[in-house]
Structure 1
Amino acid sequence: MPILILARWVFVQDASDPAPRRVDDAAVLVRHGVIVEIGPAADLRARYPAAPTFGDGTQALLPGLINAHHHSNAITHIQHGIEDGVLEPWITGNPRMRWTDPRLRTLVAAGRLLQTGVTAVVDMASVGNAHQSGHDDLSARLHAYEESGIRGHLAGGVSFYSRLVHREDEAFVATLPGDLARRVRAHFLDADKGSEQDYLALMDSLIAQASGMKRARAWYGPPGPQWVGDALMVAIADAAARYDTGIQTHVQESLYERLEAERALGKSMTAHLKDIGVLSPRISFAHAVWSSENDVEILAETGAAVSHNPSSNLRLRSGVAPLNGFLAGGVTTGLGMDGTTLGDDEDMFAEIRLAHRLHRTPRIGSPAPTLAQTFGLATTGGAKLLRREDELGRIAPGMAADLVLVNVQRLSWPYIAPEADPFAVVLQRAKQGDVDTVIVDGEVVLKDGWPTRFDLKSVAAELAEQVSAVSYDQDFADLYAELRPHIEAWYAAWEVPEMHPWIAHNSRT
């Protein structure tokens, strides 16, 4: 039986449209998980009187939002007591986070994403090794995504190199005092991570599991080229092509990642990855903050995509990515929350607004993304990054019925002018709590603000009870506190050349 979704404002978009257009007092007819027709609500209700209806006709209907880069921590770094900092020393201290069950954490993360209108996500999930325990961790996450009802693209990865600093672990350890060097080596460098072949076999198994699932998909998720090496990046690209699946990796996120590539390779990491033949539309870069004009040309030429993560870039002092350059250069660009949003709340509407406002340059006539462009990052851009632009990211006949009903009562209170643009009102005022209903593939997976496939409150309570019983690793915390000043000094000694920013926000003179 078909279903009808009723809304005051439906934002539809054909493939050739640069921006969504509004249809008032409309209904969307869905059959077998696909949008069949969009038309006046009264007409469609009269023609399909027995069809179940969702929405009360007062809401806004949006396409499902796509979170193009995420880490499903469920309990954030701030909640774990880990403050923000520069990426390199910050990431080394992440093992201070208490262990959490992979299924529970993924369900909680998926529930929070559904509550903010996200219907598809790329989750980069790095695990500690390529042995059975790493496999079991990723397998549990994959099944949790399938259980949740969201479209989860799980990008599993393992780091084999650069455990302490980029590419120069041995040289770095040699600078440490004797006893600290011994303890650091034992903790970071001597652990058995498995081999690169173990990782490829692990991914073979994960992809085979995902092949029998409806919503969840397995991607390759090498944490970063400097963490896995060229040989494995090439092997991953070959395997991803063979399986017709995706790859996501962190590239040029921080200043020091950019400097490291220039020091070691004599070129940017983007240029290097092109040279070794791994760039294609199936690979996406998380962050890409330190992209040059040449990098933008390479991305556009090869079809490689970028997930723009403005909140995370600001929180970890990585900088401001050249979004205007990506858009002008024709780079496929999505929007990601990275598990590290500005308000620590994983609100996709807030991330859209941040992307919109952060990149408006101060001079009249200089670049400034439109609301339609920044909304497109979270919809059509994300769909293209997923290589699913023919089914996701738009409300149009023939597209998958991934839909979000947003209550507009709070947005309109106490008054809304009749000349106000509803599209602008929704994008500039909606919050996570305004999402009422989420539909994925024609199935209601969030109703009245809560997931339908699992009890989010119970799962979160179970996760909280579990993690509260995990002992804090004080020994590692002490080791990290002693190690961190040495990591900071290592990078602080690097020479930083004169830079020419994409955007001039102000002037000291």
Structure 2
Amino acid sequence: MTTLIEADHILLGFAKDGAPELVEGGALLIENGVVREIGEIGTLRRSHPGAARIGGRGRVVIPGLVNAHHHVGLTPLQLGSPDHALELWFASRLALRDVPPRLDTLYSAFEMVASGVTTVQHLHSRAPGGPEAVLATAGQVIDAYREIGMRASYSFALRDQNRLVYEADEAFLERLPSDLRPAMAAYFQRFAMPLKEQVEVFHALRRRYARQERIEIQIAPSNLHWLSDAALASAAEMASETGAPLHIHLLETPYQRAYARKRTGGSALDHIHRFGLTGPGVTLGHGVWMTEADIELCAHTGTRICHNCSSNFRLKSGIAPLNRFTAKGIPVALGIDEAGINDDRDMLQEMRLALHVHREPGIDSPYPKPAEILRMATEHGAGTTPFAERIGHLREGAAADLVLLDWDRLTYPYQSPDLALTDILVHRARRDCVMAVMVAGEVIYEDGKFNRLDRPQTLNEIAERMGQPLTAQEVERRTLSAQVLPHVCKFYAGYLDEPFGPPHTSPNASA
């Protein structure tokens, strides 16, 4: 099928210096899911008279947005876990209800697409059972993305130790009263798949989804505290064997920074660097508590960072030093993580939050420009995935993943034309301005409706499922969560007593 995407303004992408590359009064010729030609509307209409036409006057086209760090559908808050500091939140989340993976995935996929997200980096943190059970769950998640038509990079996170607090499971069990140990041990056992089998799951997924246009599989070693050195070595070996990129949570909280010092005597980033887990194929999720030396190492190795602004606020993690990242030329992507500041997955809102959080005080102080934020949500997000240069821009040869915006609605009742288009877009675009979302040349969302699925029907399914009484297992986990939380609090009491070094190494010294 041949389609012309027509608009008053088309953002093709960004030049090497970060300048937006715009086409005024232009059109994109889409064939077989790829941008084949870019030109003036009239010229392309004449040379392709039989092409279908989408858009027109009053429309703006941008590359599809990339949510570069995502985990779940229904949010932890919806399922009963309030926002705690991250380390306590793990214990609180023991009480979460079970949600069918397909419905859970579609719930957040609807929200993402409606805000212009065409690609998601799905980091599957945990799934109980052995390889067959995990592969079945992964298949349900991936199939849900295929159902709605999104592009997804899926990974099942490697994790082989410290499943609740930052010490061995056996050691933590010894801290608990004897009557709590059996239930906690049983919970640990549900997620105790041997490392070798976790590696086999990765390779099985790559075989199953090889050569699929919209699905890729990558590697997600969870975080330093969740990974033994053997697991770090396995992740590096997997990357070397397959060329798949990696996405690892790192230095999200001050407790994680303290853990790294206790375990390695130095920096978490230095430690994973020794295993070859840095470079352009590696993305660090969060990076809030990085030192200047860590930032220099990222810049020197070309390692990427994914900034999760809402999550950092909600879980008391701190403010990532975004301006220092970008000053060093580090490619930074944008992710919404478990949920955004409004407890949903609205990438347009997330861009605005990141734009405004990092405006440091002072006339000459650094701050991100709107074009930089939009680049984070497109090109740099794409770079964290196996899709890489196929997405995140709309130049000839790129995948036809794009968002069509109603510029008249976005600017109504007035907007001075003196400001840059990217400034206006990042400040003012809302979900009701998204007129159409295209992935691989297919319109999957148009005029508030999903072309492949009935959203109200799916939400009704979720409501019916979650309206059922709690299962016996859910009741047990809820009880266990309430009982174990005080012991988790006790474990972290005094954990940060070790000094962090000179004040200038604090990431909050420069937001």
The bucket for the TM-score relative to the shorter chain is over 0.9
What is the rounded CA distance, in whole Å, between the counterparts of 1:390 and 1:487 in structure 2? 43
In the TM superposition, what is the alpha-carbon distance from 1:168 to its structure 2 partner? 4.0
* 1:284 matched residue in structure 2: 283
Residue 175 of structure 1: how far off its partner (Å): 3.1
1:19-168 maps to which residues of 2 (within 5 A)? 19-71=19-71, 73-126=72-125, 127-168=127-168
Partner of 1:484: 485
List 4+ stretches of structure 1 deviating above 6 A: none
CA shift, 1:387, in A, is: 5.2
- Structure 1 position 64, deviation (Å): 0.7
Paired residue type of 1:376 = R
CA shift in 2, pair 1:266/1:67, >3 Å: same
* 2:218/2:386 contact within 8 Å kept: no
Kindly state the Cα deviation for residue 192 of structure 1 after the two structures are TM-superposed.
Answer: 6.1
SS in structure 1 opposite 2:51? Answer: coil
Check conservation: 2:13, 2:63, Cα contact below 8 A: no
Report the Cα offset of residue 209 of structure 1: 0.9
| 2:84 aligned partner, one-letter code | G
**Per-residue Cα deviation, 1:119-170 (whole angstroms, up to 9, x for no partner):** 1111101222443211210122122223322110011125331122112444
Match of 1:322 in 2: 321
Q: Which residue of 2 aligns with 1:173?
A: 173
Stretch deviating more after TM superposition (19-28 or 256-265): 19-28
Contact conserved, 2:10 with 2:62, CA < 8 A, in 1?
yes
Retained in 2: the 8 A contact 1:5–1:27? yes
Q: Quote how far apart the aligned CAs of 1:179 are.
A: 2.4
List gaps (5 residues or longer) in structure 2: none
Q: Describe the SS at the equivalent of 1:59.
A: strand
Shift in CA distance, 96/503, structure 1 to aligned 2, threshold 3 Å: closer
Q: Report deviation, 1:382.
A: 1.0
Q: Give the conservation status (yes or no) of the 8 Å contact 2:247–2:384.
A: no
Corresponding residue for 2:365? 366
Cα distance in 1 between the residues matched to 2:388 and 2:178: 55
1:96–1:477 Cα contact (<8 Å) kept = yes
- What root-mean-square deviation, in Å, do the aligned CA atoms of Structure 1 and Structure 2 show? 2.1
1:89-110 Cα shifts (integer Å, max 9, x gaps): 1012213221111122223322
Structure 1, 123-132 or 286-295: larger mean CA deviation: 123-132
| Of 222-231 and 82-91, the range deviating more from structure 2 | 222-231
1:249 aligns with 2:251: no
Give the structure-2-normalised TM-score: 0.93
Per-residue deviation, residues 367-424 of structure 1 (Å, max 9, x unmatched): 1111111111111111222254432212222322111001223322222223243321
Q: Any idea what SS the aligned residue of 2:248 has? A: strand
**Code of the aligned partner of 2:179:** D
Instruction: Specify whether residues 64 and 489 from structure 1 end up closer, same or farther in structure 2 by C-alpha distance, changes over 3 A only.
Output: same
**Which range is displaced more, 196-205 or 183-192?**
183-192
Letter in 1 for 2:335: G
Aligned-pair CA distance for 1:310: 0.4
Q: Cα gap change, 1:36/1:192 in structure 2, threshold over 3 Å: closer, same or farther?
A: closer
TM-score (norm 1): 0.93
| Amino acid paired to 2:122 | D
Counterpart check, 1:237 vs 2:236: yes
Bigger drift between 306-315 and 455-464 goes to: 455-464
Q: Deviations over 1:34-65 (max 9, x none)?
A: 22333332332233222101113211111111
Q: C-alpha distance in 1, partners of 2:356/2:139? A: 39
**What is the letter of the counterpart of residue 4 of structure 1?**
L
Shift of 1:190: 4.2
Does structure 1 residue 382 correspond to structure 2 residue 387?
no
Q: Give the letter for the 1:479 counterpart.
A: L
Amino acid at match of 1:87: L
| Distance 1:24-1:203 versus aligned 2 partners, 3 A rule | same
> Residue 497 of structure 1 corresponds to which residue in structure 2?
499
Residue 264 (structure 1) aligned with residue 266 (structure 2): no
Shift of 1:312: 0.3
Asked if 2 retains the 8 angstrom alpha-carbon contact of 1:142 and 1:217, the reply is no
Q: Distance in 1 between matches of 2:189 and 2:48?
A: 66
How many pairs were matched up? 504
Q: 1:199 to 1:365 in 2, by over 3 A?
A: same
1:217 alignment partner in structure 2: 216
Paired AA for residue 62 in structure 2: L
CA–CA distance in structure 2, aligned partners of residues 188 and 159 of structure 1: 15
Shift of 1:33: 2.0
